[in-house]
Copies of this chain bind each other. A is one copy, B any other.
Amino acid sequence: MTQLMENEVFKAFATYAAIVTLKMMLMGPVTVYFRLTRGSFSNEEDVARKSEEEKKKLLRSHPDVERAQRCHHNDLENIIPFFFIGLLYALSGPELATALLHFRIFTAARIFHSFAYILALPQPSRGLSYFLGMLVTFSMAYNLLSKVFFL
């Protein structure tokens, strides 16, 4: 058991995977923050103590909440494949330097992607960070499959 966590590639994967997972999780509280400050909720029970008139207003969608949700959703679509492929890749015994390069570029690309999304930075900043992250995952998948392919 502890053997796995003595391996440097696996320790590096655990560290970067935890960082991007925490970043993804933080989109939850970010959405809650926008819900509270913009007054935009999805569930009747969340606005139970308000008057009927206020309820109608508070149950409308708000562009800032929807933007945070799209950013969160994009994380799910990209960070989950990174974890899946990255875990198997880390177990397939890659060079430490190559593995670190993959993990670092992905982490930087996804952190930048979140800022680009929430702050609505001009394109192609968001698009490029999206494709860069995807490229890293494809590169790890190629490395993994070239080593363990067993259909």
Chain A positions within 8 Å of B, measured between CB atoms, are: 1-5, 7-12, 14-18, 21-22, 24-25, 27-28, 42-46, 48, 67, 70, 72, 76-78, 80-81, 83-85, 88, 91-93, 120-123, 126, 130, 134, 137-138, 141, 144-145, 147-151
List B contacts of A130 (CB < 8 A). 28
CB of B1 within 8 A of CB of A1, answer: no
Smallest CB-CB A-B distances: 8 pairs: A11-B150, A14-B88, A11-B148, A21-B84, A14-B148, A12-B150, A25-B81, A45-B120
List B contacts of A7 (CB < 8 A). 1
CB of B45 within 8 A of CB of A5, answer: no
- Which residue of B9, B17, B42, B48 is within 8 Å of A122 (Cβ)? B48
CB of B147 within 8 A of CB of A81, answer: no
List B contacts of A149 (CB < 8 A). 11, 15
Q: Kindly provide the distance from the CB of A98 to the nearest chain B CB, expressed in whole angstroms.
A: 15
Known: A67-B43, A77-B72, A123-B48. A10 touches B18 (CB 8 A): no
